[in-house]
Amino acid sequence: MTTIDAKALHFSQLGESLRALAGQEVQVKNCLGHRYIGAGISGISIDIDGIPGNALGAYLLEGSTIVTRGNAQDATGDTMSGGSIVIHGSTGDAVGYGMRGGSIFVKGNAGYRAGIHMKEFGEKCPKLVIGGKAGDFLGEYQAGGIIVVLGLNAKQGEPCVGRFCGTGQHGGKIFLRGGIVPNELPPQVFVKQTEPEDLEPIVPLLEQYAATFGVDLGMLKSSPYLLLTPNSANPYQSLYAQY
């Protein structure tokens, strides 16, 4: 395990050090808003002590893991391709933007536009799990992958996500624990209460969330969930007149 003290480092210096340590285990101490940690690096394991800045784990590759003990900021896991990011706190806006593989586990809340443009192809299916609540536009333009919002801190009867959830969704699945239908759902989204077999793809995610953050797995598994899926893979097909 290599330790880097980030206190006096610019983000570009920290980035250079981390790229040189690809394939190793690294602890970053005194992290204070450093952006782009782990951007595009494969096979690295980064443990962050402090607060990372925007675009944590952007373009992250297979075999990399990032664990942060505090909160993360905006654009966590932007266009992430593989590996995993675990946040023992909350994260800002646009977490998992354009994500196409790997997993992100957020113990607390996520900001606006979490999981937008997530996509999948073949073996690659990205997963985003948010333990608390998520802001507006969750899963906007989602084309693939799985988003789970647990709403563990949601009040009784309160939806665990904000408005316009799944706007333009044309693929993938969104699971919302608690069974409360979010406000102002767009017409592209089809909502149903889950049957036990619907939950199969998220059971391993619930297990990992429970184990990582010390939450009762039985409670997670026995809760009611809503499943949001697109009602068309071609939402704008009838919009145009060709000539």
Partner 1 sequence: MDLYVHPRFEVLRSEKKCICCRVCERQCANGAHGYDESAGTMESYDEKCVNCHRCVALCPTKALKIAETSHSFRQNANWSGHTIQELYLQANTGGVLLSSMGNPRPLPSYFDRILLNASQVTNPSIDPLREPMETRTFLGKKNQTVTRDTRGRLKDNMGAQLELRAPIMFSAMSLGSISYNAHASLANAARELGIFYNCGEGGLHKDFYKYGPNTIVQVASGRFGVHQPYLMAGAAVEIKMGQGAKPGIGGHLPGHKNMGQIAATRMTPEGSDAISPAPHHDIYSIEDLRQLVYSLKEATGNTKPIIVKIAAVHNVAAIASGVARSGADIIAIDGFRGGTGAAPTRIRDNVGIPIELALASVDQKLRDEGIRSDVSLVVGGSIRSSTDWVKAIALGADACYIATGALLALGCHLCRSCHTNLCNWGIATQRPDLVRRLNPEIGAEHLVNLIKAWQHELREIMGGMGINSVEALRGNRLMLRGVGMTREELDILGIKHAGL
- Site residues (vs partner 1, CB under 8 A): 11-12, 15-16, 19, 35-36, 39-40, 42, 54-55, 58-59, 61, 74-75, 78-79, 81, 93-94, 97-98, 100, 113, 116-117, 119-122, 124, 137, 140-141, 143-144, 168, 170-171, 233-243
3-class DSSP state for residue 159? coil
CA distance 40 to 80: 8
Q: 100 and 81 in contact (C-beta within 8 Å)?
A: yes
CA distance 96 to 102: 10
Q: Report, in Å, the least distance between residue 222 CB and partner 1.
A: 31
Rounded to 5 degrees, φ, ψ at 38 are 80, 5
Q: Which is nearer to partner 1, 64 or 90 (CB)?
A: 64
Q: Which is nearer to partner 1, 127 or 177 (CB)?
A: 127
CA distance 208 to 57: 20
Q: Which is nearer to partner 1, 163 or 221 (CB)?
A: 163
CA distance 90 to 57: 15
Q: Report, in Å, the least distance between residue 203 CB and partner 1.
A: 23
Q: Which is nearer to partner 1, 179 or 236 (CB)?
A: 236
